[in-house]
A and B are shown apart, each in its own frame.
Chain A
Amino acid sequence: MSWLPGTGARRRPRDWPRGRRRARPHHRPETWWALALPLLLFLALPLLALLFYSPPAELRANLARPEVQQAISLSLRTSTLATLAAVLLGLPVAYLLARREFRGRMLLDNLIDLPIVLPPAVAGLALLLVFGRRGWLGAPLDDLGLRVTFTQTAVVIAQTFIAVSLFVRAATIGFAAVEPELEDAAAIDGAGPGQVFWRISLPLARRGVLSGLALAWARALGEFGATIIFAGNFPGRTQTMPLAIYLGFELDMGVAVALSVILVGVSFGVLLLIKGVFGRGEE
C-alpha cells in the first residue's frame, strides 16, 4: 500500500522537485484527519452502539440460548462448506482469467462479478427457478425424490453463489502476480502441467488465494437475502445467524444484538487476518 501517506512518500528521492509538490497530504495531517473524521464516526458509531447495547452479562446469557447456539453452529458449518465449494469451483476459473486470453474473456469476467453487485434477493429468486421443485434442475431431482430447497444444501448453494466471486477475484490477482517465466522454467525442467500448478503457481499465488478464501468465508457467513428466499427459514436447519438476527429483531432485540455482535467481531477479525497475516511481507 505504497500510496498511503507516510509509507511510499518516505522512499521518494531527496531531490524531488520542490514548489507545488510541497503541499502533499502528509504535510498537513491534521487537516486530513479533520476531514476524515466524519466517515470514521459514521462507520464506527453504529458498531459501538451495537456493542454497548446489552450489558456483558445479558450478552453472554443471550449467546448461551439454544436457538442462538443453533444458528451459530449452522452458520459456521454452512459457510465453511460454501467456502470449500467456492475454492474448488473457483480455482480453475481464477487461473484461466489470470493466464489465458480467450474470446469472451470479458463476458466471463463480468459474469464472475455479477453476484457482487446483484441484490442477494435476486440471486435467491434465480436459484429457486433453477433448483426449485419446478426449476430446470430441481424438477428432475424432485422426480428422483431429492429436494434441494429448504435444506442445508440450499443454504450452502446460496452462500456459494454469493461468495464465490470474491474468491475468484482475489485468487485471479494472486495468479496474475506470479511471473509466467517461473512456470515456464519449471516446465522446461520437466515438470508436468499439474506439478507446475501445485508446486509453483499455487504456492506463489497463496496470498491472493488465502485472502480470497477468507473474504469468501466472511461473505458466506453474512449471507441473508439469497438464503431466506432460496432456503427458507427453519431453526436448526436453514436459520443461519443473519436470518436469526432478522427474525429476532421482530421479537427479541437482545438475541438480534448478541448475534450481530458476533458477526461484527468475526468479520472484523477476518479482515484483520487478511491484512495482517496474508498482507505481511508485501514490499
Chain B
Amino acid sequence: MNVLTRCRWRAIVLLVVLCLALAGCGGAEIFAPAAVAATQPPAAEEPTEAETTLTVFAAASLTDAFGEVAAAFSAANPGVTVAFNFAGSNQLATQIGAGAPADVFASANQAQMDVAVETGRIDAGAPQVFVTNRLVVVVPADNPASITDLTDLATPGVVLILAAEEVPAGRYALEILDRASDAVGVGSTFRDDVLANVVSYEENVRSVLNKVVLGEADAGIVYTSDAISEPGVTAIEIPDELNVLAEYPIAVLNDSAYAEDAAAFVAYVLGPEGQATLANYGFGVSSASSAQ
C-alpha cells in the first residue's frame, strides 16, 4: 500500500467517524427513518397496546400541577404517557413557530396562545381557557418588613422584587400598581413609590419567589399558584378589584400525530378530576373559567 492511498484511507476513516458521531447525537433522525420504514411494519398495524407519548408544551407555572394531572391521566389511559416541555409561554410559542414537535400547548396567557395560532399550527377556535391565576404578595415567613397589605409595598425602605416587564407576571404586577394608584384612598404616587423600592426585575416569576424564600427581598409579587406550593413564604391577598385574572388557554395542535389522545388529555384537564387537581395547586377553576 503506498503512502498516498494510506493517507486517503485515513481521511475516509475520519469522515466515517464524523458521520457516526453526527448520527449519534440527534442526527439519528436524519439518517434513520428510511432504514426503519424498510424493516418494520407500518405503525397502523401495531397492536393498540403500543406506547403513545404525548408531547405537551406547558407554561412553567404549571410544572407541579401538570405533573400530577399527567400521572393520573396515564393511569386512566394505559399505554399513553405524557412528556412535558415546561418553559416560559413566550419561549414555547416561539418553539411552536419554529416547528418543534408538540401535541398540546398550554399557555399562561392569551397573547402567547395567539402567537401560536398565528403560526397556523393551532386552529383559531381551538384554545379553551382551563384555569385562571391571580397575583399575590409574598413575604418571607418571618415578614421582616411587617407587610400586611398591598399598600405597605410603598413604605420607603421595603426591599421589593418584581418579575421583569418582559414576562406576563411582571406586566400583571405593573397593571395592579396602576389600578391601585387610580383607586380611592391609595394615593396617586403609589405606583412610583412602590417602584422606587424595587431592587430587581427577575427574568421569571419563580426566581422572584425563590429570592423571597431566601429572604433576599422583603416582598415580591407572584402567582397564587406559586405561593401555595412554597411553605417558606406567607401570601398576602391582593383585593379582587385591583387584581388581575390571568387566563390559561389550552389547545391541541392541528398537526398532532396523536390527535385523539391529545384531545383526551385536554378533556381530562378540563374535566372534574383535572380541575380538582389544578385547584389543589392554587389555580382558579371551572367557576372562573365558565364566567368568562
**Given A35-B14, A133-B215, A250-B88, also A233-B7 (CB < 8 A):** no
Q: How many A-B residue pairs have CB under 8 A?
A: 66
Q: How large is the interface on A (under 10, 10 to 19, 20 to 34, 35 or more residues)?
A: 20 to 34
From B8, B18, B90, B198, give the contact of A38 (CB < 8 A).
B18
Distance of A133 Cα from B215 Cα, bound (Å): 7
Q: Is the CB of B201 within 8 A of A149?
A: no
Find chain B residues with CB under 8 A from A234 CB: 198-201
Least CB distance from A240 to B in Å reads 13
CB-CB under 8 A from A77, the residues of chain B are none
**B261 contacts the other chain (Cβ, under 8 Å)?**
no
Known: A28-B7, A134-B215. A246 touches B203 (CB 8 A): yes
Interface residues on B, range: 20 to 34
Please tell me if the beta carbons of A23 and B200 are within 8 angstroms of each other in the complex: no
Contacts of B161 in A (CB 8 A): 232
Of B166, B198, B214, which is within 8 A of A251 by CB? Answer: B166
Q: Which of B8, B167, B201 has the most CB of A within 10 A?
A: B201
* B140 nearest CB neighbor, chain A only: A134
A150 within 8 A of B: yes
Whether the pair A233, B200 counts as a contact (CB closer than 8 A) is: yes
In the complex formed, the residue of A with least CB distance to B199 is A150
Known: A232-B200, A234-B199, A238-B200. A250 touches B90 (CB 8 A): yes
Name the prevailing secondary structure of the B interface residues.
mixed
Interface membership of chain B positions 1-44, coded 1 if the CB is closer than 8 angstroms to chain A and 0 otherwise: 00100111001001100100000000000000000000000000
Docked-complex contact A232 and B11, CB < 8 angstroms: no
Q: Is A229 interfacial (CB 8 A cutoff)? A: yes
Residues of B within 8 A of A132 (CB): 214-216
**Which B residues lie within 8 Å of A35 (CB)?**
11, 14-15, 18
10 residue pairs, one from A and one from B, having the closest CB atoms: A232-B200, A150-B199, A250-B166, A251-B166, A134-B215, A23-B7, A31-B11, A150-B200, A23-B3, A247-B166
Chain B residues near A (Cβ < 8 Å): 3, 6-8, 11, 14-15, 18, 88, 90, 159, 161, 164-167, 198-203, 207, 211, 214-216
In the complex, 14 of the A-B residue pairs with CB atoms within 8 angstroms, ordered by the A residue number, are A27-B7, A38-B18, A128-B214, A132-B215, A133-B216, A150-B200, A229-B207, A234-B200, A247-B164, A247-B203, A250-B88, A250-B90, A250-B166, A251-B165
CB within 8 Å of B: which residues of A? 20, 22-23, 27-28, 31, 34-35, 38, 128, 132-134, 147, 149-150, 228-229, 231-235, 238, 246-247, 250-251
